[in-house]
Structure 1
Amino acid sequence: MQPRLNQQQNAPSPTQRYGTVSQRLPIGLSEPTRRDSVTMLNQLLADTITLRDMYKKHHWQVVGPTFYQLHLLFDKHYEEQAVLVDAIAERIQILGGVAVAMAHDVAELSSIPRVPRDREEAPVQVSRLLDGHQRILKNCHDYADKADEAGDDGTNDLIVSQLVRTNEMQVWFVAEHVVDSPLTQAE
């Protein structure tokens, strides 16, 4: 039997539209609660994908006397952010939502400003990463409270146990590279 290649969407509408939630899984949460959590989680997902990709960009492009340390640190943080991306997307699916996934959709939704294509000096990279973390953490604190108030313990737990803890740890490691007298200084 030959595979059927080049299949197209024949139905008048997709299986599920972005922004909707289905009741596929009986998880004991109301439709409005699941919809609100999916909206919050998609924002965190877009920002986390953006931060993850910033880490990889900076990993590839870092230069200067701290190259080796930052090259390794940025790659480690990229891998940790990739784990968070998967956890957030899976929670969205559990809630019956549709996770944002494509680069153009992520760029449109992300609250983290677009990073220039240029190579930047390490102090600029570090500052940019810290700003991204701060934006994510601010939303995490707000969204964890909202999920808790709505009784969505799974979303609250994901945000607090994984997103907040990982991002705070990464802030600590990256912020330690901010010094009064850097070895190099952005012009």
Structure 2
Amino acid sequence: MLNQQVNAPAALQKYGTVSQRLPIGLAENVRQQSVTMLNQLLADTMTLRDLYKKHHWQVVGPTFYQLHLLYDKHYEEQSVLVDSIAERIQILGGVAIAMAPDVAELTSIPRAPKDREEAPIQVSRLLEAHQIILKHCHDYAKKADDAGDDGTNDLVVSSVMRTNEMQVWFISEHVVDTPLAHS
């Protein structure tokens, strides 16, 4: 009976809606636009975070030690971003995406295979995921700025974009002569 939805209580707030609980000086349409963008960014960031952990567990080869530590460091940094993005969604009156199946439906990042892959392929997948997130960041930062949502713009530029750019730099130093993997 625990997993059944029989007589489940009504949702306190439906996903995809925004409330005006917090008086933060932004119109509902601005909040809605930002929540939609941030949920996409959250799903992609959660996927990248989990991709780092997958590769942390599965990396092998001559660069094992360096990549094992780097992947774990980047996982932790992405975890901080996940929390910051989800909290911003809550501040805007939205409902943050949270469960793995929902994230998998929403993410723009291609799903990696369950198999263990060689380190150059892992690096390539991570760079592709970062590129997807960074493209969204440029678009979302401009939209948030144009809408007057300075808090979302600041989060996207100062935290998400800068962290991802730094991680791209570090991961790119491990690129070998293997073309980027595209799923």
TM-score range, shorter chain: over 0.9
Name the counterpart of 1:185.
Answer: none
Offset of residue 179 of structure 1: 3.2
Q: Does 1:26 align with 2:28?
A: no
Structure 1: tracts of 5 or more residues without a match: 182-187
Name the counterpart of 1:89.
Answer: 86
Q: Does 1:48 align with 2:49?
A: no
- Which of 111, 126, 129 lines up with 2:108 in the alignment? 111
- Which of 118, 122, 135 lines up with 1:138 in the alignment? 135
Q: Number of paired residues?
A: 176
Offset of residue 48 of structure 1: 0.1
Contact 2:21 2:93 in 1 (8 A): yes
Q: 1:9 to 1:89 in 2, by over 3 A?
A: farther
1:62-96 alpha-carbon deviations (Å, 9 max, x no partner): 00000000000000000000000000000000000
Superposed counterparts of 1:1-187, under 5 Å = 10-11=8-9, 13-180=10-177
Distance in structure 2 (CA, Å) of the matches to 1:180 and 1:36: 41
Distance in structure 2 (CA, Å) of the matches to 1:109 and 1:180: 32
Could you state the TM-score of these two structures normalised by the residue count of structure 1?
Answer: 0.91
Structure 2: tracts of 5 or more residues without a match: 179-183
Offset of residue 15 of structure 1: 0.5
Name the counterpart of 2:181.
Answer: none
Offset of residue 131 of structure 1: 0.1
1:88-113 alpha-carbon deviations (Å, 9 max, x no partner): 00000000000000000000000000
